[in-house]
Amino acid sequence: MVETLTGFAVVVLAVMVGYVLGRTNLLGPHAGRVLTRLTFYVLAPFLLFVVLSQADTQLLFSSLLPVSAVAAIFVVAVYLAVAKLVWRRPAGEAVIGALATGFVNSNNIGIPLSLYLLGSAAYPAPVILFQVLILTPISLFVLEATTGKRVSLVRVVLRSLMNPIVFSSIVGVLVSLSGVSMPPIVLEPAMLLADACVPVLLISYGLSLAGQRLLGAVDHRRDVILATVLKLLVMPLAAWLLAGPLLQLPAEDVFIVVVLAALPSAQNVFNYAENYGVGVGIARDAILLTTIGCLPVLMLANILLA
């Protein structure tokens, strides 16, 4: 329990440092964007490559991935059913809300929390692959089709594969499957950059929270509330139900999938919404609410399941 509280304290401190830096504008107006691009294009790919290249392949392709995938698909389907059939939302808005419901922040928040709570940063990596290789191409296909842009499934898939997070993860998995041990002259420089990822990305996330206003999207508050409830409560419960009572997985595996399911909505959802000009308020508010609310949910999961 002490180790878990220490992990939360480390994460919260780094995020608060970033928040203070954002409020005081000490690093300038472009600091958040610079740090975000640094982590996305450089530090996070190195971290995922190092973790996956040295990970046990049985862990990467264990039952944890399908359980996490089924839980995500379930809440996405529930949100889409309510948004389209009950509220009659446009397809683009419904897709953005669904992504905010089931697309977890397995990178910016998932990696450090997994490192401190679960003992390894490898657990979110299969979830990242599932989201970027399956959920992202399908979602972008719908968004491009509904916003009047020419759509090419091949182009979307290729763009997803060349994403630095995905590419480094695939290379890391291939190295792990090959059984080749990387020489120190390759591994140690990669680890140097990988070690910088967690503190930098937490500070950059704290920067992104500065100046945000809760429930600013007045016309879509019920969309935000539905996405938040599904994300923080229903998705972890679905993961627990599937992994525990139904599949009877070991207690450690049940705890892992519940933690992964309780992670907040991914910041990538806001990027997609802003890029296509649809559901921006839904994405922004859902990300902020789930980020604030995930900590007590994760603490409760740790008390009950760890």
Residue 28 reports pLDDT greater than 80:
yes
Q: Tokens for 133?
A: 């290789």
> Which DSSP helix (H) or strand (E) runs through 173?
helix 164-178
CA pair distance 282, 262, nearest whole angstrom:
19
Asked if pLDDT for residue 81 goes beyond 60, the answer is yes
Q: Strands, DSSP E only, in 145-299?
A: none
Q: What is the pLDDT, as a whole number, of residue 163?
A: 72
**C-alpha to C-alpha distance for 72 and 165, rounded to whole angstroms:** 20
- Residue-range domain boundaries for the chain: 57-181+214-305
Q: What is the pTM of this model?
A: 0.77
Q: How confident is the model at residue 79 (pLDDT cuts 50, 70, 90)?
A: very high
């809440």: which residue's tokens? 75
Residue with tokens 């933690």: 259
Contact 71, 261 (CB under 8 A): yes
Task: Report pLDDT for 294.
Answer: 86
